[in-house]
Amino acid sequence: MNKMIKFQDLGSKDFKATWDYQETLFKAILDTKIKNRREAAGLETDNHFLFVEHPHVYTLGKSGDLTNLLLSEAQLTEKGATFYKINRGGDITYHGPGQIVGYPILDLDNFFTDIHKYLRLLEEIIILTLAEYGLKTERSPGETGVWLDVGTPFARKICAMGVRASRWVTMHGFALNVNADLGYFDNIIPCGIRGKAVTSLNIELGVDTVDEAELKTKLLKHFADLFEARFV
C-alpha cells in the first residue's frame, strides 16, 4: 500500500480548470487499478492532495436542487460568479476568495475501504485544526460538514464537504471558510439546509484576517496523522 500523498498548492485557480485537473488525476489512478486487475501488474497507485482558492463560483452536486440557487444567469454575471453542476455528492455550495478548498484524490485501497470513515476523518481534520484556534466545532447529525453551536438556534456551518468515489478512488473534498465574504452565501440555500447560518474563521476569532499559510500547515499535519500518510 502506498501511503505517500503528492501535495500541490494551486493558489488561485478557476473552478472548471481545477475540476478538469482533478479528473485527470482521478482517471490516472483508476486506469492503474484497472490495468492491475486485468494484467495482475502489481502497479502502485498514486494519491494526491490539492489546496486551491477559487474565484466566485457556485456548484451543485448531482443530487442537488437547482431551486437552492437564488440567482438568475444575469445576476450571476453581475456578481462576477459562475455556476456548475458537478459530479460530487451533496447539494449547492459556494467557493470564493478567502476560502481554503482541499481536494484529496486518494486510492482508499491504500488506506481503508470505508467512505463513511473517510468523510468522518475529513471532518475530524477540520475539527482538530480549528481546536488549535480555540474553537469548539463538531458534527451535526445527518448533515455532513463541520459546525459550531450544534443543536442551538445559533448553529452555523464553517466547513462544507462533498465527495465523489469510484472503485475506492476519491475526488472533490472540503471547503473551509477562513477569510470568506459571507455575503455570497446569501444567494443560495447552502447545502439545501434552510434556517441555518454559515460563518468564517476570521469572524469567529474577531480578527480581520487569519494567516491562511499557517492554517494550511496545520491542516496537512492533521491529515497526515489521521491517514497515517506522508506528504511529498
The residues that are catalytic are: 191
Beta-strand ranges (E) seen in 27-150 are: 48-53, 57-60, 82-85, 92-95, 99-105, 138-140, 143-148
CB 189 within 8 A of CB 70: yes
Amino acid at 210: V
Q: Which residues, other chains included, contact 89 with Cβ-Cβ below 8 Å and sequence gap of 6+?
A: 61, 62, 63, 162, 163, 164
Residue 95 C-alpha cell reads as 467557493
Q: Name the DSSP class of 179.
A: S
Strands of 62-121, DSSP E: 82-85, 92-95, 99-105
Angstrom distances, CA of residue 41 to CA of 45, 55, 112, 178: 11, 41, 21, 44
Is residue 164 a contact partner of residue 24, using CB atoms and an 8 Å limit?
no
If you search the block for the grid coordinates 485501497, which residue do you land on?
109
The burial class, CB within 10 Å (0-12 / 13-18 / 19+), for 191 is buried
On the CB side of 38, CA atoms within 13 Å amount to: 6
